[in-house]
Structure 1
Amino acid sequence: MKKIKIENKKAVLSISYGNYFKFHGGTDKVIQSHRKVLKKKKISYLFISPKVRKISENKGFFHFWEIMIDDVCYGLVDSNELLGIIGTLHQEKDVEIIGLHVHHLLRVFIPDVKIIWDNIKLPITMFIHDYYTICENYFLLRNKEEFCGGEQVNKKKCESCCFYKKVKKRAEGVRSLLYEYQNRIIAVIPSHYAREIWLIAYKEFEDRAFVVPHLELHGSYKGNMNQLKKRNKVKVAFIGLQAEMKGWEIWKDSIRNMDRHKELEFFYLGTGQERIHEVQNIEVSFQTMGEDAMIKTLRKYEIDCVVLWSIWPETYSLTFFECYASNVFVITNENSGNIAAMVRKYGNGTILREGRDLKKILEDEENFKNIINQWRNGCQYGPERLVDNERG
């Protein structure tokens, strides 16, 4: 291992499923924002993610951590080696670990977590980005189809689900871990909607679960609010991950055979590679273009409407707030969790029941344009800027 360099005398030790520079999800974006906030406060970021390696045919598989310090990767270590590195940093450079963060337990070997927590007896801040701590099927969709509720995995609730046998043991392990360290864990949850669901499974954490939104909304953005004239096409986009759970398949079904609807112009904004006839793909990545890449793109192309059709109850949805900050009308469904909750709160969209309702609203072009114009008449502007919430 190369010689370790660390920027500050204080550090946070953080765990998640993988290198936050290599993944494109909301969790990774939040981790990057935390790193930035801590750096500003002169606190270093010691980040570990799980790796499994086969040492030899005889010895089988072993669990390791990939270790990054202040965004520099130093390779693989086991839990005891990690503790040794932390001890050396303390002895030689007077570095003190001041906090333990957990962003995700996906692929994490629970005994390794316990080794760390038993040796570093600090409060543990657990950030709830999805429902993995309830079920390994962290979208909480029975058979990938319908929301199954926030109760813990159990036979009565889950026996009819295709995931039950696979997730049962892991769910028990994660639940036991949280209760073993309950007196040290603080759960930080990004929305009231997600907190209500999470506490169904972890009601004993009622006094230890706090809502801290990822973002603060600053200023007022007044662009992209002109009335759509008869000659204007309505620019409709799907943004983010091309994933079934995000509504990608429903989006494709809804715009199929829409060539004849000349008043609509379709876009996809994100990093997905699938292409659809009559849809303009625009690459947008916060990893390569900066954290405000989506807002800049939505504003640049003056997107009128975005379809955020998550079929699972989102805990927050950064994409919703990117749309809100671009004065984009949002179409979602009643099962999308915090997306639907925020549309109700800010009034910047409509909430439909099912996929065929989405196709129906798009096909009636004149009425669709009137709906957007009526909303714009209200001049309910979104924020000029989205700022990382330093309390998170």
Structure 2
Amino acid sequence: MLEINSKSFILSLSFEDYTTGQGGTDKLIREHQRVLNAGEISLLHIFPIHKDYIEKAVGYSIWGVLIDGNFKGYFSTNQVIRILSQLSFQYSFKGIILHHFQWSNIDEIDRILNISTSSIICYLHDFMTICPNGGLIKNDQEFCGSEFPNKQKCKSCVHHSNKNIDISIRIRELFKKYFNRIKFIAPSEVCRDIWLETFSEYKNAIYIVPHQVFKGQYKDNYSYIENDNIRVAFVGYQKELKGWSEWVDSCNLLKENRNYQLFQFGKSQQILDGVQRVEVDFHKKETSMVQRLREFKIDCAVLWSKVPETYSFTYFEAMSANCFILTNENSGNIANMVRYYNNGYVASYDEKLANILGDTKHLSQMINSFRTKGSFGPLELEENNEIVDIINRLHPSIVEVHGEDNIREKIISQILLAMYRLRKH
């Protein structure tokens, strides 16, 4: 029997172990755990083991289970349901948060949702509830518009398949089945507006809850700069979607230009001549993105995403170091926030990053104009603990399940747990 350390708990689901994952979804769930635990609410988290050969071999889905970030083992859907049932009779079961469906069997999720009357919250981290494989990104290169996947629209996309269309339909059916129980949370207006273009029936069931709130003002890295000393950094993943090829082109043009010092913040697969790499680890405050950007006194952060970002942690991290932001009109919430806070430049569709960076005089003028306004970034970015208030407003539910665990499922779970422990050692 699993135990929790609080009087109440919620169930959350995503595509991986959030304690080891590196993405924005993992980061948010880690912060959720922290603020929920501080509010005396435990987090029971499940994620699918997405190895096809395992599901084919055992005949059902296997889930990794964590309680407050501590790994507890692998369990079948039946076992997860029994765990929920047992815990709900001892502790207050507040509700369910769906973070991501990737690699999960929708029918198995349905089984878990169906065994209680608890409220359901679906977080919209991206657009994969619309297009489960590509997330509305055609050929991993460009935004393809907020329309459900279909043969006509998707015929030239690498993500097109009957399976992708089928999963999209199953997600829609799942939402429809739990229409009276489900609410949606978007981290920005951009995310909400694009998502509602396909799921308009939920316009009264969706709320905007930014991932973070601002504390104080950071007043350093705000001095007037000269033309011959601009510190420019590409911030984030080396991905085509993030504008990496445009950055490479710019660096090739600027590497002999002594007016610039060029940096790349984040994990590096490709090493560029004349560009200083700065490693970042957001698990540690002293090497987090914010601290690194401040440490190196970056004047200008390049956030050249070519698809609509639903939030963008990197934007707010760069903002917290008082960086001037260079982005383009396709970057979603990045472009929206730059316009709102007036702390950067939003390029039009046909403008090239290399040309903007190549005009040293104009760039330095824009940075200095931004800094004369005295609009400082936040001293600290803290997780928005509004999720605690939302959870506390939910009505507790009990999961009633009878019968004994399947012996075969117990044995398989124990074997998988033993394999996990061997890998850890």
For normalisation by structure 2, the TM-score amounts to: 0.86
2:36 pairs with one of 35, 38, 60: 38
Alpha-carbon separation, structure 1, partners of 2:330 and 2:286: 27
Shift of 1:356: 5.7
Q: Which moved more, 1:211-220 or 1:124-133?
A: 211-220
Shift of 1:79: 1.1
Query: Any idea what SS the aligned residue of 2:345 has?
Result: strand
Shift of 1:366: 2.4
Opposite residue 225 of structure 1, the aligned amino acid is Y
Alpha-carbon separation, structure 2, partners of 1:125 and 1:290: 30
Alpha-carbon separation, structure 1, partners of 2:55 and 2:189: 49
2:148 pairs with one of 128, 152, 165: 152
Q: Which runs of structure 2 are paired with 1:1-392 in the superposition (5 Å)? A: 4-52=2-50, 59=57, 62-91=60-89, 94-165=90-161, 167-230=164-227, 233-287=229-283, 289-290=284-285, 293-354=288-349, 357-392=352-387
Alpha-carbon separation, structure 1, partners of 2:9 and 2:46: 13
Query: Any idea what SS the aligned residue of 2:217 has?
Result: coil
Shift of 1:115: 1.1
Q: Which moved more, 1:364-373 or 1:191-200?
A: 364-373
Query: Any idea what SS the aligned residue of 2:326 has?
Result: strand
Shift of 1:133: 0.3
Shift of 1:4: 3.3
The count of corresponding residues between Structure 1 and Structure 2 is: 386
- 1:360-389 CA-to-partner distances (Å, cap 9, x unmatched) read 111122222122112111211112221211
- 1:8-62 CA-to-partner distances (Å, cap 9, x unmatched) read 1210100001011221111111111111110000111100000145778994654
Say if 1:56 and 1:124 are closer, same or farther in 2 by CA, change over 3 A: closer
Alpha-carbon separation, structure 2, partners of 1:243 and 1:57: 31
Query: Any idea what SS the aligned residue of 2:65 has?
Result: strand
Unpaired runs of 5+ in structure 1? Answer: none
- 1:282-336 CA-to-partner distances (Å, cap 9, x unmatched) read 111113x149811111111110011101111011111111111111000001100
Q: What is the RMSD of the two structures over their aligned residues, measured on CA atoms? A: 2.1
Alpha-carbon separation, structure 1, partners of 2:54 and 2:130: 35
- 1:110-147 CA-to-partner distances (Å, cap 9, x unmatched) read 11111111112211000100000000244422333432
Kept after mapping to 1: 8 A contact 2:328/2:348: yes
Alpha-carbon separation, structure 1, partners of 2:50 and 2:234: 35
Kept after mapping to 2: 8 A contact 1:24/1:285: no
Kept after mapping to 1: 8 A contact 2:142/2:241: no
Say if 1:86 and 1:284 are closer, same or farther in 2 by CA, change over 3 A: same
Opposite residue 380 of structure 2, the aligned amino acid is R
Q: Which moved more, 1:133-142 or 1:334-343?
A: 133-142
Opposite residue 65 of structure 2, the aligned amino acid is I
Shift of 1:200: 0.6
Kept after mapping to 2: 8 A contact 1:53/1:61: no
Query: Any idea what SS the aligned residue of 1:286 has?
Result: coil
Query: Any idea what SS the aligned residue of 1:99 has?
Result: strand
Q: Percent identity?
A: 37
Alpha-carbon separation, structure 2, partners of 1:223 and 1:202: 44
Opposite residue 146 of structure 2, the aligned amino acid is G
Alpha-carbon separation, structure 2, partners of 1:227 and 1:56: 59
Alpha-carbon separation, structure 2, partners of 1:131 and 1:384: 31
Kept after mapping to 2: 8 A contact 1:250/1:355: no
Opposite residue 252 of structure 2, the aligned amino acid is R
Shift of 1:242: 1.7
Alpha-carbon separation, structure 1, partners of 2:245 and 2:330: 16
Say if 1:201 and 1:58 are closer, same or farther in 2 by CA, change over 3 A: closer
Alpha-carbon separation, structure 2, partners of 1:172 and 1:55: 25
Shift of 1:5: 3.9
Q: Highest relative contact order (Cα 8 Å, sep 6+), 1 or 2?
A: 2
Q: Which moved more, 1:340-349 or 1:137-146?
A: 137-146
Kept after mapping to 1: 8 A contact 2:253/2:354: no
Kept after mapping to 1: 8 A contact 2:227/2:360: no
Unpaired runs of 5+ in structure 2? Answer: 388-425
Query: Which one has a larger percent strand, Structure 1 or Structure 2?
Result: 1
Alpha-carbon separation, structure 1, partners of 2:193 and 2:237: 26
Q: Which moved more, 1:50-59 or 1:69-78?
A: 50-59
Q: Which moved more, 1:137-146 or 1:173-182?
A: 137-146
Opposite residue 248 of structure 1, the aligned amino acid is W
For normalisation by structure 1, the TM-score amounts to: 0.93
Say if 1:244 and 1:57 are closer, same or farther in 2 by CA, change over 3 A: closer
Alpha-carbon separation, structure 1, partners of 2:220 and 2:55: 62
Kept after mapping to 1: 8 A contact 2:7/2:91: yes
